[in-house]
Amino acid sequence: MERVKCLIIGSGPAGYTAAIYASRANLAPVLYEGNLSGGQLTTTSEVENFPGYPEGINGFDMMDDIRRQAERFGTDIRMGTVTKADLSSSPYNIYIDDNTQIEAETVIICTGASAKYLGLEDEKKYAGRGVSACATCDGFFYRKKIVAVVGGGDTACEEASYLSTLAEKVYLVVRKDYLRASDIMQKRVLSNPKIEVLFNHNVEGLFGEGKVQGMKLVKNLGKEDESHYEKEIDGFFLAIGHNPNSELFKEYLETDSIGYIKTIGNTPCTAIPGVYAAGDVADSRYRQAIIAAGSGAKAAMEAERYLQEKA
């Protein structure tokens, strides 16, 4: 069985940045990439808000840059997905693809979160061509355009408000006849002249030549007066929640009601010594690459301190 000082799980900005710091601190980290090498950013088009890229950069290329930076200092980056974790005692036992077992003195969990989608074929068809799950990332491309946001929670209201500062018009598509968001967010949305809330609406499809040009809506689904119609839009934003990828660790680590791993104070430390959670798997609030990268760096620094104190 292989024993490692530092095992990093996940290959988004948090995982790769943890790897840069851990390898430069001589922890000889091993990183398992998971099934989406490079993480969520590889599915967005252009990243314009990560410092250091004044002209913006393609998400895939940016992750490739960070990955190569981690490799340069000796991180052992491997393909493979963690399928089981036993964090009951140190060293921790991590299983890869159900067969390889690794003993790790420290574990940095950077498994990220996945945005929820409606499950429409058209969401895949127009991925990166008008469909997005992150207004902060992609809103800028829709200046003076017409966009739709799906969802009725705080995220949807926040994204609709943000997009209204850029776009000419924002439709907020809400499946019920009320918003689930907090009062303050509801008021902000309902009093914003640029936002039109479409209550009792579901989206059943998108259309457009090579990019999103409109959405197909159902009003009052399943009721007597059910009706179907279309609206022209340029951008379609999902804001129906995220699923943090924390399932494997829930037996050992505390999570909030949605599943985000709870960390101690402003650190990536969990209640288990030597086990850290960084990036979106532990962050329901910011969900940004730069924040994830910062927390990955913190996690590696904590791992180094922990190993030094233990030695």
Task: Considering only the stretches 74-82, 94-102, 173-181, 265-273, report the one whose residues sit in contact with ligand NDP under the rule CB under 6 A.
Answer: 173-181
Q: How many residues does the chain have?
A: 311
State yes or no: is 269 an active-site residue: no
Catalytic residue chosen out of the listed positions 6, 137, 157, 269: 137
Give 56: exposed, middle or buried? Use CB within 10 Å, 0-12, 13-18, 19+.
middle
Q: What are the structure tokens assigned to 258, written together?
A: 């949605």
- Encoded one letter per residue, x for contact with ligand NDP by CB under 6 A and - for no contact, window 103-122 reads ---------------x----
Q: How far is the CB of 176 from ligand NDP (least distance, A)?
A: 4
Q: What CA–CA distance (Å, rounded) separates 252 from 154?
A: 29
Distance of CA 52 to CAs 42, 47, 66, 132, Å?
18, 11, 12, 23
Q: Which stretch binds ligand NDP (CB under 6 A): 14-22, 32-40, 125-133, 150-158?
A: 150-158
Inter-axis angle of helices 59-72 and 13-24, nearest 10: 20
Q: Is 151 in the site for ligand NDP (CB under 6 A)?
A: yes
Give residues 28-47 in contact with ligand NDP (rule: CB under 6 A).
none
Site string for ligand NDP, 54-83 (x = CB under 6 A): ------------------------------
Q: Is 256 a catalytic residue?
A: no
Q: Is 156 in the site for ligand NDP (CB under 6 A)?
A: yes
Q: Does 135 bind ligand NDP (CB under 6 A)?
A: no
Q: Which of 119, 275, 265, 135 is nearest to 206 (CA)?
A: 119
If one asks whether residue 155 binds ligand NDP (CB under 6 A), the answer comes out as yes
Beta carbons of 157 and 188 less than 8 angstroms apart: yes
Determine the Cα–Cα distance for residues 183 and 154; give it in Å rounded to an integer: 10
Burial label for 135, CB within 10 Å (0-12, 13-18, 19+), is buried
Give me the 251-290 binding string for ligand NDP, x by CB under 6 A, dash otherwise.
---------------------------------x------
Catalytic one among 6, 110, 134, 269? Answer: 134
Helix (H) or strand (E) holding 169: strand 169-173
* Nearer residue to ligand NDP within complex by CB, 218 or 290: 218
Nearest distance in Å: CB 153, ligand NDP: 2
- Closer to ligand NDP by CB, 153 or 205: give it: 153
Q: What is the dihedral of CA 295, 88, 24, 283, to 10 degrees?
A: -10
Shortest gap between Cβ of 116 and ligand NDP (angstroms)? 6
CA–CA dist 137, 271 (Å, integer):
32
Interface pattern 178-207 for ligand NDP (x via CB under 6 A): --x---------------------------
Q: What 3-state DSSP class applies to 304? A: helix
137 in catalytic set: yes
Catalytic residues: 134, 137-138
Binding site for ligand NDP (CB under 6 A): 118, 150-156, 158, 175-176, 180, 240-241, 284
